[in-house]
Structure formats: structure tokens, C-alpha cells
Amino acid sequence: MNISWNAQDYTQNFSFVHEYGSDLISMIQGEHRSVLDLGCGNGALTHRLAQAGHRAEGLDASPELLELAKTTWPGLVFHLGNAVDFQAAAPFDVVFSNAVLHWIDETQQDGMLRCVNRALKPGGQFVFELGGYGNNALIHRALSAAFVRRGLAYRIPFYFPTVGQYSARLERAGFLVTYALLFDRPTPLRGPDGLYDWLRMFIQRPFQGMDPAEEESILRETVQELESALYREGVWYSDYVRLRCKAVKPTALA
């Protein structure tokens, strides 16, 4: 990812990320499963997995978010590690992931999925949601236009696949896809500067090395351009599109 998280700000102002992930837990089949929350962040969903009766552990690459997770949920186990090359001490019944996998570069997706497959028991479940094709298209289009007007190139710093693209990747990694759905989820953002704050939190890589004054100019220009499309009745929205999937690691054939 190569970004730095403000853990407190993320938790206080962007709680919708884990709140929307709560009903993803219901896709886990069976009770009292051993579950790895991959990209657990502040541990909120790891905690909810444990509340649901599962033996949940979390793994994340952000020391800032993990420190908060360990402080907030001292009874849970959290590991510092990267989704693309982690090794589980023992295989899990379930690998669970919410709003994480689109942060991983496309060139690393296949390796990450193979890593997840190795972390699962035969018959194990991979339950996850990520940004899908068209996610925040209005926002990224406006940012790109602002960059181009300054003679700069803008690259979307995420991977937003279609159902077909990701299903094919899952199958190549040894999974059987049992559920996949791409759907719109317009999401309200908190506060009068909701979109500006969202951009500051989540769109960091395209601005790396840029003069702060120019970055601020681009952000304000983008917010102004999107007001007619994403500001409704006093509330800012992000134009999220999500890809929700479930895949299974097949058991060995007799």
C-alpha cells in the first residue's frame, strides 16, 4: 500500500468501512470457525467475528492501525504482516477480508490469492468484499481531469476488477467460486467537508512528492467539480461499487 494511516481519524470518521462489512460475516457457513481477518485494520470486524462465536485473529500491514486494534481489543490476537506474503502458523477454516484487496496492485493479486489458499484448510472458505469495476468512477475521473489540466498524469492507485476478471483469478489460484456480485453502494460521508476528508484519507499515492499547495489546489478543485453529482441535501457521498465474493478451497478428490 505504501501509505500512512491516521488510525484515530480513520476510526472516528470512516467507521462506515467496517460497518458495511458486518453483514459480510453472515456469509460464513458454520459456527465456531477459526477465522483470519485479512487486512483487519483497527480490529473492529475481528471483534465482531469473535462476537459471532468464531475464533478470530487479525492480520494487517499497518503498525498504526494494529496498535489501536491491540489497545481496543486486548483479548484478541493480531499479527503484523502483508496480505501478499503472510504465512499462517496453522491453516484456518475461513479467511475473511473487507475493503482491503483493491489496495493490492494488480501484479500482486495472483500471488496474494495463492497465499490465501495456502492459509486455508481443505474445504476452507474465502469470504471477502473489495472495490469493484466502476468504483468511485466519478471521483477518479474528476481527479484525473484536474491532473491533466496541470500537465500531470493520474493513475488510479487501486485495482477494481469485474466479476469475470476476479473469478478467473480465484480459479487460477485453486478456488471454486460459489458467489460473486457486483453492486452499487452510494455511501454518505461524515461532515461538511466529507468528500475533501475522504480524499485526504484514501487518495495519497497520486500526490506523493507533489508540492502541498498544488495538492491542495487539486483537492479543492475536485470537490467543487463533484458538488453537483455527489452533494445531496447537505450530505456528501462517494460513488462506491463493491464486489462481494465467496470461494472455497476444494477438498482432495478420493
pLDDT in tens, 200-231: 989 999 999 999 999 999 999 999 999 999 99
Domain span including residue 121: 7-134+158-190+240-248
CB 34 within 8 A of CB 119: no
Name the residue among 139, 138, 91, 144 with its Cα closest to residue 119.
91
Question: Does residue 54 belong to any structural domain of this protein?
Answer: yes
Please, which residues have CB within 8 angstroms of residue 220's CB and are 6 or more apart in sequence?
A: 196
| Phi, psi torsion values for 3, nearest 5 degrees | -135, 160
Query: What pLDDT was estimated at residue 23?
Result: 87
Residue 188 grid cell: 454518505
pLDDT in tens, 11-52: 444 444 456 667 899 999 999 999 999 999 999 999 999 999
Distances (CA, A) of 210 to 46, 65, 111: 36, 26, 31
The number of folded domains in the chain is 1
Question: Does residue 59 belong to any structural domain of this protein?
Answer: yes
Question: Does residue 235 belong to any structural domain of this protein?
Answer: no
pLDDT in tens, 138-156: 999 999 999 999 999 999 9
The whole-model pTM stands at 0.90
User: What band does 184 get if pLDDT is binned at 50, 70 and 90?
Assistant: very high
CA distance 134 to 57: 31
- CATH number for the domain including 123? 3.40.50.150
Helix axes 137-148, 194-202, angle to 10 degrees: 80
Query: What pLDDT was estimated at residue 22?
Result: 75
